[in-house]
């Protein structure tokens, strides 16, 4: 049995078991959590952990957007990848960052990313995680029907956004917007963001944070 990694240039070289492509029952199951991750927070970690714990997937890939389809202004892709990697450090290795959206390029539409991933990894069964807040945006997504043909879509109940047919209990009431607001007010959002993620943000001076003048070697 060989090993298999989330992508050729995975930002973290964690590997999971590889299944035989000829035996669908042994296919690797991977859930994708796409997002801006500006910054990643404990809500993302809880969402990924819930899916990993209950939905029979071996890995969850965080997929930071390269070009946001709706033109959101974000910190650089590289810094968001670094923060996602720091979030992944909170797990035993089943949570990984995928930089696939940089590779796919284009308008950052999820259907295009999925087409790319399905072609690259014929031996993987993909699920797509979305929070229930996203449901209101779906009419503006490109080809959501096609997405549903390629992946099982898991709609998690994001606290504050009740909707029919969500999976699981309400998850944390936390957002990147709330984190950015706290940082802008000079607060330390240490209850919303893992310390390792905040460290990356501080060291890089993201979200208007002052870059420390002296950093330990
Ligand atoms: N607290 C949460 N509970 C459940 N799902 C979440 C939560 N936070 C984010 N998600 C889901 O994670 C995905 C990526 O979210 P995103 O990176 O845009 O974070 P966000 O907190 O919604 O950011 P922002 O406040 O900047 O809009 C989306 O599918 C979103 O619904
Ligand atoms: O495919 C689309 O048309 C589409 C439109 C808007 C958003 N998305 C994706 O939805 C995910 C969550 O988006 P957001 O705005 O909550 O960060 C992220 O992976 C986006 O690329 C996808």
Report domain extents, the chain.
Answer: 28-204
Question: What pLDDT was estimated at residue 34?
Answer: 98
Pocket test for ligand 1, best of 70, 133, 157, 201 (most atoms within 8 A of CB): 133
pLDDT for the residue numbered 14: 30
Report the residue among 31, 33, 35, 128 best suited for mutation to probe ligand 1: largest number of ligand atoms under 8 A from its CB. 35
Is the separation of the CB atoms in 50 and 171 below 8 Å?
yes
Q: What's residue 25's pLDDT?
A: 57
Summarised one tens digit per residue, pLDDT across range 84-116 is 999 999 999 999 999 999 999 999 999 999 999
So what's the ipTM on this one? Answer: 0.99
**Listed range (3-7, 106-110, 157-161) with the worst mean pLDDT:** 3-7
CB burial string 103-142: b at 16+ within 10 A, e below:
ebeeebbbbbbbbbbeeebeebbbbbbbbbebbeeeeebe
Q: Whose CA is nearest to atom 18 of ligand 2?
A: 35
- pTM, to two decimals: 0.91
Superfamily for domain range 28-204:
HUPs (3.40.50.620)
What ligand 2 atom has the least distance to the C-alpha of 110?
A: 1
**pLDDT category, 7, cuts 50, 70, 90?**
very low
């Amino acid at each position: 049995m060989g090993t298999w990694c989330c992508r050729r240039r995975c930002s973290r070289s964690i590997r999971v078991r590889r299944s035989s492509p000829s035996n669908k029952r042994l296919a690797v199951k991977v859930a994708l959590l796409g997002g801006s991750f500006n910054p990643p927070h404990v809500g993302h970690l809880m969402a990924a952990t819930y899916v990993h714990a209950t939905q029979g997937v071996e890995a969850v890939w965080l997929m930071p957007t390269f070009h946001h389809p709706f033109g959101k202004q974000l910190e650089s892709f590289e810094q968001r990848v670094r923060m996602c990697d720091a979030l992944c450090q909170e797990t035993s290795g089943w949570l990984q960052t995928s930089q696939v959206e940089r590779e796919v390029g284009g308008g950052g539409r999820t259907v295009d990313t999925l087409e790319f991933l399905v072609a690259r990894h014929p031996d993987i069964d993909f699920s797509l995680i979305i929070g229930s807040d996203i449901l209101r945006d779906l009419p503006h997504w490109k080809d959501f029907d096609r997405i549903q043909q390629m992946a099982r879509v898991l709609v998690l109940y994001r606290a504050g956004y009740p909707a029919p047919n969500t999976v699981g209990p309400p998850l944390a009431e936390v957002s990147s917007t709330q984190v950015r607001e706290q940082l802008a007010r000079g607060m330390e959002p240490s209850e919303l963001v893992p310390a390792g993620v905040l460290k990356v943000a501080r060291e890089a001076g993201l979200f208007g944070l002052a870059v420390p003048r002296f950093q330990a070697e």
